[in-house]
């Protein structure tokens, strides 16, 4: 398979023809993208049908919030389980199994009739999602290594696209009066078929050492093992400190994403006095720009280097949310949330990719820790913003994600992982 004029296939696995072949990097890239699409699709439909779940189980706002907390709890537990599983089973096998499990699990909230049943179902959904997220990202790191250039961000764009399509599908189900379980069963069945097909094209086994990916701040930096390139010296930075730094960046990105999802409409409606329909445009614009930014992010990183791009993204996110909070004009505030989405779009995929390369001995473990810390931030961040808002108001509380976006600018160099780590890693 040819992409950008060059033949891309994992060494020794074939895939040099025009048709995608099993074991080829090109086919695996589309397989990973398809699994990300399904993850976004199932999550988008569920989010759109939460009111139906509330009605079916006869919950108040408070008990609904308690039930929904089971999802992020499951995500954290799932990421912790994936840390042990991904290096043992291999990312392809784990993504296949848990991708199917995720599609089956998304149906279970539709069967719940009590609060405990709903919480148990949502915990299972979160746990499966957490495992398949780590496994798919780990497979994505391996695909990126086989390509020899950044492709992770474009694969994540399919998650954002799936979330938008899922939200639209969920809204259509609600408009047509389709029940909660049939809605979830339909998307679960469709996702299951896609996962079964896509799983056949993932890169199998534990893989050989991945070629270096040019993600240093120097565009066109030499790759290891090329003629005339001396062997790289080992990196002296402790792996634990590097993973922790990447985890903090993950928290910064996912707190921002969570804040946009949970608080943008509330801010536009309550603080700026817009209608509920107009307020929903804030997150819609944010999500659309996230998708677009991820679609073009890899090209920018390949040309300019990861550190300059992430620094500009951090500045863009900081300026965008600051604009949304500084203006009393609702249209300008929505423009600010749009710019905020553009700035955050590339950050999480690149942090996850770096997490998969941070620990050469156990790449799955490094990725799982980074993802798990990000989930913790995504869970706790919006809640902390709400608690702070009770004291000082939502307008000032939303400067928390502004500060975290500014930290992305400062901490971007941590993504400049030396070539030695890239060539030593055996991504499962």
Same domain, 173 and 293: no
Q: Is residue 230 part of a domain?
A: no
Binned average pLDDT, 10 residues per bin, the chain of 428 residues? 36 43 80 95 88 88 80 89 86 92 96 94 95 92 85 92 89 89 96 94 62 46 43 54 91 91 85 83 88 92 92 96 94 94 94 84 80 85 85 91 96 73 44
Same domain, 263 and 163: no
pLDDT score, position 291? 92
pLDDT score, position 294? 93
Our count of domains for the chain comes to 2
Q: Is residue 228 part of a domain?
A: no
pLDDT score, position 106? 96
Crossing angle for the helix pair 70-89 and 61-68, to the nearest 10 degrees: 10
What are residue 6's phi and psi, to 5 degrees? -130, 150
Q: Is residue 211 part of a domain?
A: no
Collapsed DSSP state (helix, strand, coil) of residue 425: coil
Same domain, 43 and 133: yes
Nearest residue to 345 (alpha-carbon basis) of 123, 159, 201, 81: 159
Name the DSSP letter for residue 141. H
Same domain, 257 and 155: no
Same domain, 183 and 44: yes
Same domain, 104 and 157: yes
| Domain with 350 in it | 239-424
Q: Is residue 347 part of a domain?
A: yes
Q: Which of 174, 199, 224 is the last residue of a domain?
A: 199
Same domain, 63 and 177: yes
CATH number at residue 100: 1.20.1250.20
Name the DSSP letter for residue 214. -
Q: Is residue 310 part of a domain?
A: yes
Same domain, 254 and 105: no
Same domain, 338 and 243: yes
C-alpha to C-alpha distances, 327 to 182, 190, 331, 371, nearest whole angstrom: 43, 43, 9, 34
Same domain, 177 and 318: no
Residue 240 CA to residue 83 CA, distance in Å, equals: 14
Q: Which of 137, 167, 199 is the last residue of a domain?
A: 199
Same domain, 251 and 383: yes
Q: Is residue 79 part of a domain?
A: yes
Q: What is the dihedral of CA 117, 120, 126, 132, to 10 degrees?
A: -110
Collapsed DSSP state (helix, strand, coil) of residue 11: coil
Q: Which of 170, 199, 228 is the last residue of a domain?
A: 199
pLDDT score, position 19? 54
Token reading at 23: 């074991």
Nearest residue to 330 (alpha-carbon basis) of 380, 389, 267: 267
C-alpha to C-alpha distances, 13 to 24, 86, 95, 107, 197, nearest whole angstrom: 7, 21, 20, 37, 19
Q: Is residue 414 part of a domain?
A: yes
Same domain, 420 and 271: yes
Q: Is residue 233 part of a domain?
A: no
């Amino acid at each position: 398979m040819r992409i950008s004029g060059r033949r891309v296939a994992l060494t020794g696995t074939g895939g040099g023809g025009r048709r995608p072949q099993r074991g080829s990097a090109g086919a695996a890239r589309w397989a990973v993208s398809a699994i990300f699409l399904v993850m976004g699709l199932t999550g988008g439909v569920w989010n759109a049908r939460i009111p139906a779940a509330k009605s079916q189980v006869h919950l108040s706002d408070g008990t609904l919030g308690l039930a929904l907390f089971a999802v992020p709890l499951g995500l954290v537990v799932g990421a912790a389980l994936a840390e042990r599983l991904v290096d043992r089973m291999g990312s392809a096998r784990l993504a296949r199994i848990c991708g199917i499990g995720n599609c089956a699990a998304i149906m279970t909230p539709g069967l719940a009739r009590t609060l405990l049943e709903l919480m148990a179902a949502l915990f299972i959904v979160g746990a499966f999602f957490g495992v398949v997220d780590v496994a798919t990202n780990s497979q994505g790191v391996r695909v990126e290594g086989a390509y020899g250039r950044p492709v992770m961000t474009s694969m994540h764009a399919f998650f954002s696209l799936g979330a938008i399509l899922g939200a639209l599908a969920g809204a259509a189900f609600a408009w047509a009066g389709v029940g909660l379980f049939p809605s979830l069963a339909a998307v679960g069945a469709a996702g299951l078929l896609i996962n079964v097909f896509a799983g056949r094209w993932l890169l199998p086994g534990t893989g050989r050492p991945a070629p270096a990916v040019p993600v240093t701040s120097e565009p066109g930096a030499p790759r290891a093992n090329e003629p005339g390139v001396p062997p790289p010296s080992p990196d002296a930075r402790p792996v634990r400190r590097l993973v922790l730094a990447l985890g903090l960046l993950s928290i910064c990105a996912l707190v921002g994403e969570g804040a946009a999802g949970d608080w943008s409409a509330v801010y536009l409606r309550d603080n700026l006095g817009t209608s509920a329909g107009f307020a929903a445009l804030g997150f819609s614009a944010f999500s659309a720009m996230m998708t677009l930014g991820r679609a073009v992010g890899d090209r920018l990183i390949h040309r300019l280097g990861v550190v300059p791009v992430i620094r500009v993204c951090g500045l863009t996110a900081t300026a965008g949310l600051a604009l949304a909070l500084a203006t009393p004009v609702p249209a300008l505030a929505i423009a600010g949330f749009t710019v905020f989405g553009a700035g955050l779009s590339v950050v999480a995929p690149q942090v996850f990719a770096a997490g998969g390369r941070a620990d050469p001995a156990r790449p799955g473990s490094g990725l799982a820790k980074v993802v798990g810390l990000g989930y913790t931030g995504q869970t706790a961040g919006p809640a902390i913003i709400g608690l702070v808002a009770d004291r000082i108001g939502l307008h000032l509380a939303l400067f928390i994600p502004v500060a975290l976006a500014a930290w992305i600018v400062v901490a971007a160099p941590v993504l400049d992982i030396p070539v030695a780590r890239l060539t030593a890693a055996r991504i499962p």
